[in-house]
Amino acid sequence: MKINPKDFRVRPGVKVDLGKWPTRIDPVYASKASYRKLLGRHVERLSALQQLLYASNQYAVLLIFQAMDAAGKDGAIRHVMSGVNPQGCQVFSFKHPSPAELQHDFLWRTSRDLPERGRIGIFNRSYYEEVLIVRVHPEILHGEGIVGLPRDEADVWRDRYRSIVNLETHLGRNQTRIIKIYLHLSKEEQRKRFLGRIDDARKSWKFALADMEERQFWRDYMAAYEDCLAATSTRRAPWYIVPADDKKNARLIVSQILLDTLNSLGMAYPKADAARRRQLLSIRAQLS
C-alpha cells in the first residue's frame, strides 16, 4: 500500500465525524523488517531535507501533535525525527500553564517557541489544548481570569478558533509551514496500552491517575476534537487524521506527510555569486 497524505487530510470547511475516520487501516509495511526498512528510508530522506531547509534558510516548519493519552505522540516524534540534526530541530511539550503564563493571552506561551527560519519546531500538544481540555473542563477557562466572557460558551470556542486560524494564516504568510497531526486512537486500544503500561515496569512510570480520569470524558473529547479539526483545518495549515492503533503504520504515515511538505517547498542550496566564487577559488588556491 502506498501512502497518500491526502487520504488523511481534513478538507477545509468539512464537518468531521471521527466515528467515520478509521483508527486502524491495512498496514503499509509487510513485516517488521519491511517497516524498519521503510522508516529508515524516510528518516534518511528527512535528514537530507532538514539540512537543505537549514541551508536555504527560507522556511520554518512547525509540526503539531495532538491526541488522547497513549496515542503514541512521543514515539512518533522519537522515531520519525531520529535522523534529524538536533541543531535544526526543537521539541516543546506544553502542559498546564504556569501562573505567569495565565497572565497572558492563550496563544502567548506557545508563540515564544515558534521555530525560526531554517528549523523544524515540534509541539507535543500545543495552543490547541485551549479549545480541547479547556472545553472539556470549563472550570479551567473560568480560572484564566478573562473578563467579559461571552454568556454562550460556544462563542468562546468560535472566537478562539478564529484567533488560531488568524495566527496560522499570519505564520504561513511569513514562511512558516504548519503540519498538524491528530493521532486517532480507539478507546479500546487506549485501554490495552494503559494495561501494558501498568504491567510493564519499564513503562509504568508513564501511567498517571489523571490519564484514567480523563478517559471518563472520552465522548466529550471526541466532540471537542471534531469541532476543532473542522474549524481550523485550512489550506495553509491542514489537519491530518492519522490512524494510530498501529504505531508503526502511524509513524510511516507521519513521516510521509512531513516528507511531502518539505518536498513541496522547492528548496535549493544557496548559489555563490561571482564575487563569492572568486573568493572561494582564492582560498582554495591557498590550501592547495
The residue whose grid cell reads 535549493 is 268
pLDDT digits (tens, 9 = 90+) for 181-198: 999 999 999 999 999 999
What is the total count of domains within the chain?
Answer: 1
pLDDT for 168: 98
Query: Hey, what's the cell of 36?
Result: 524498519
- The enclosing domain of 232 has a CATH number of 3.40.50.300
Q: Which of 251, 242, 213 is nearest to 221 (CA)?
A: 213
DSSP character string of 218-249: HHHHHHHHHHHHHHH--SSS-EEEEE-SSHHH
pLDDT digits (tens, 9 = 90+) for 26-74: 999 999 999 999 999 999 999 999 999 999 999 999 999 999 999 999 9
Give the SS3 label for residue 50. helix
Please give the residue range of the domain that contains residue 178. 5-287
Give Cα separations from 264 to 39, 53, 155, 224, 261 (angstroms): 20, 12, 36, 31, 5
Which bin fits 98, alpha (ψ -120 to 50), beta or left (φ > 0)?
beta
CA distance 97 to 100: 8
Give the SS3 label for residue 79. helix
CA distance 157 to 175: 27
Give Cα separations from 26 to 145, 158, 180 (angstroms): 47, 36, 22
The residue whose grid cell reads 462563542 is 155
Entry pTM: 0.93
User: Does residue 268 surpass a pLDDT of 80?
Assistant: yes
- Continuous H helices in the chain: 32-56, 73-80, 108-111, 133-136, 138-142, 153-173, 187-199, 209-215, 218-232, 247-263, 274-287
pLDDT digits (tens, 9 = 90+) for 115-155: 999 999 999 999 999 999 999 998 888 878 777 677 778 89
